[in-house]
Amino acid sequence: MKRVIFILLTVFTVNSSVAETSALPTYEQAVKLVAAVWKSPPRSIDVKYYITVKDNTKTKEKLRQIYEGVFDNEYDPDEELSPEVLERKEMDIQMNVDSELAEQQQGGRKIKYRVRCDGNSYRVERVYGRPVRTIKTILKGIAREEFLPGKKLDANTPFEQTFIETPTATNGFELYIYYHGRKIATIEKIESSRAEIEDRKISKILKMPNASILKMKLGTRNNKLVTEPYDINEPKIKQLCSGTLEGIIVKIRPDPNEPDAKDRIEISLYNKEKIEVLTSLMICAKDDYSKVYYCQTPNPATNKPPIFTKTCSNFDAQGFPHNVTQVIYDGKGNVQLQETYQIEDVRVNIPILKEVFEFNPPDDYLVTDYRLPEAQRQAAKIENMKRRLKDENSGRRLEALMRLIEYLKDDPAELRNIAISMLEDERDNIRAVALSALIPLLKDNPEELRNIAISMQDDEDRRVQKVVAKILRQVESNKKGNK
């Protein structure tokens, strides 16, 4: 009997050295913790919010490296680019670098979102704010400054991009994308979900920090359930309350600032060698641990610099916070990334019409269906661009003409007819591009090319006049060479 008492006292001594017995959770507290960890996510959600992202890792040098890579992929290799295109490329790179630097100086990148999901169907809409900035560029050796006003985001700001993802009858998903400014829509089949990336932003707000870790420690893996792989394990909950659950100690105390309203929950994980590998702090509502007002890793009690903090406030009746700030630090406690969410409106577990997740672009949008074979897709692109030649927006007409010059290079007869039809466009740059496109197309018919150039001699645009002069010189030179 004495030997048994001695063993029990020894066990108690070891446990008390790992955790303060008074701070171990009561069974009632453990049940509240389990309820928060296993709280079911909403079946459906419709949320509008604003996010401000301040990324201190994006220096001027890093941004330039990023955009040089982006534009290297967009343009041909440098040795094949004309001086004009190289100049344009440099200007594009610099404008993007200046824009992002201005964003950081004015508090960070601002984005407005609306996210709707129902089951595995998602619709994500977004629009980026624009900073107020002055850009400096050098074009044709002339330095210039241009003031660009910002774009503020509010309830009336229309979305610029829409992403819709819905499961197919077989495996995979269909992805629909609208680019509203350019009036373009695309369809493609994808094997795995992309919308989850945006959905995870909302999930991080709804989900209790450390929930995944606590599920692994307090649950039993259930291989039959894909969506919820851990079942609640009652014996482990009791072990948690006694401080004997392997690899984890949880301490719960009243929060010293609001002891009647909030609890301070400290979580420590240990490896097999009993060395602490993670320590985290959460401050939660005393009656509902899924309401997490503050989270920090590592726990400030360890006197180590934080790696991550999350602050939430203004919870609504659904338990959804309307103000959230998440901060990631480097190992020395310096802020690397800060994300601030302002939730404008949120509704959960509501019916969402099926039409929300269907592909239904406006009639004047150009549609590219990437599910089609390449030949069919290319033919559809050409027809779309022909329609766009009549668009009210001159930028879209110019883009369509340049795309058709590329797409119809093996069909010179049709391209010739299109280029001739655009010689009467009201925009001078379109007329100049159309006239230039005729030079290689009519190289075997110099007389027709000369007659077209003569018909354009009265054009008032300087660029058109330069192309006219070039054609006349070229035709005259070829005449002399043939004599």
Residue 477: both structure tokens together: 């030179």
Q: Which of 80-89, 114-123, 300-309, 383-392 has the lowest mean pLDDT?
A: 80-89
pLDDT at 169 over 60: yes
* Averaged pLDDT for residues 285-312: 93
* pTM, 2 dp: 0.74
List, in order, residues 6 or more apart from 420 with CB less than 8 Å away.
434, 438, 452
What's the mean pLDDT in 411-426? 92
Distances (CA, A) of 405 to 307, 381, 433: 53, 12, 10
Mutual angle of helices 211-218 and 234-242, in 10-degree steps:
100
Average pLDDT over every residue of 237-244: 95
**Average pLDDT in the 135-161 region?**
72
Closest CA to 148 of 106, 86, 179: 106
Number of continuous H segments (helices) and E segments (strands) in the chain: 13, 18
Contact 61, 264 (CB under 8 A): no
Report the pLDDT averaged over residues 361-371: 89
**Two structure tokens written together for 184:** 């373009």
pLDDT exceeds cutoff 70 at 1: no
| Closest of 437, 392, 397 to residue 419, by C-alpha | 437
CB burial class (10 A; 0-12, 13-18, 19+) of residue 324? buried
Q: Which of 262, 238, 200 is nearest to 45 (CA)?
A: 200
Query: Cβ neighbours of residue 177 under 8 Å, at least 6 residues apart?
Result: 161, 162, 163, 164, 185, 186
Least confident of 21-30, 49-58, 101-110, 170-179: 101-110
Beta bridge partners of 124: 115, 163
Please report where in the chains the tokens 């619709």 appear, as a residue.
123
